[in-house]
Amino acid sequence: MTDVAINTRQRLLRELKFRGGASQSELAEALGLTREAVRQQLALLEAQSLVWSEAAAPAGRGRPTHRYRLTEAAEALFPKFYDELTLTLIEALGKRFGEEGLREVLAQVTDAQVAHWQPKLAGKTLAERMEALRGLYFDADPYTEVREDRDGVMLVEHNCPYLNAARDEPRLCSVTVSTLSRLLGVEVERTERFQQGDGRCVFRVHVGKPVPEDFRFAWEPERKPD
């Protein structure tokens, strides 16, 4: 794959982002390319699930033209600022409702996650639930794995999709710890943390310590220095 081809696809994606949708002819004219060059690159973008096309009725006689648009996957390639928004919301909630108010909001977030996952985990063993919960953040997460050592079992997270926000507001991680505890039915402790330079998060599952049936949410305790 040449740098020219990569740059052409980037230009096509950017042009579609601004236009919202365009035909091969419109893209060729806007980018100063041949229609055939645009067609080839759009075919590759479609194969990568970055663009999709729909038939549009022609203005006059002739065959319908196709208009190309970005997929949701392509939208993720453009800058987003969810971390800043999340932190702003957390700060505003804390100022408006205080510590207990913020705790209740995060407890409700935990409730929603548990309600989403419980039907998927019904009837599964602890090991099967842990395997399923590798996808807690997103399906088929390749960066989270189940491991076992002499101290027991754990979920190891090598990539946190919320790391920027979690660094500035580590209390957000209480949602993950509480969610895992409720879904697994036992205490979960985060023994390694990105925020403290460990390069990963490790959620240790304490099989012999069941959580109370009425457990809902708790602030994650600060980790003691080694």
Residue 220: closest CA among 188, 186, 194: 188
Q: Is residue 218 part of a domain?
A: no
What distance lies between CA 160 and its chain's CA centroid?
9
Q: Is residue 53 part of a domain?
A: yes
Of residues 211 and 195, more confidence is placed in 211
Beta strands in the chain (DSSP E): 22-23, 51-56, 65-70, 144-149, 152-157, 186-192, 201-210
CATH of the domain at 47: 1.10.10.10
CATH of the domain at 90: 3.30.1380.20
Residues 202 and 95 in one domain: yes
Residues 55 and 96 in one domain: no
Q: Which domain holds residue 52?
A: 3-75
| Domain count for the chain | 2
Residues 90 and 200 in one domain: yes
Residues 111 and 205 in one domain: yes
pTM, two decimals, is 0.67
pLDDT in tens, 35-61: 999 999 999 999 999 999 988 766 556
pLDDT surpasses 70 at 81: no
Residues 103 and 151 in one domain: yes
Mean pLDDT of 93-121: 93
Whole-number average pLDDT of the chain: 88
Contact by Cβ (8 Å): 103, 219: yes
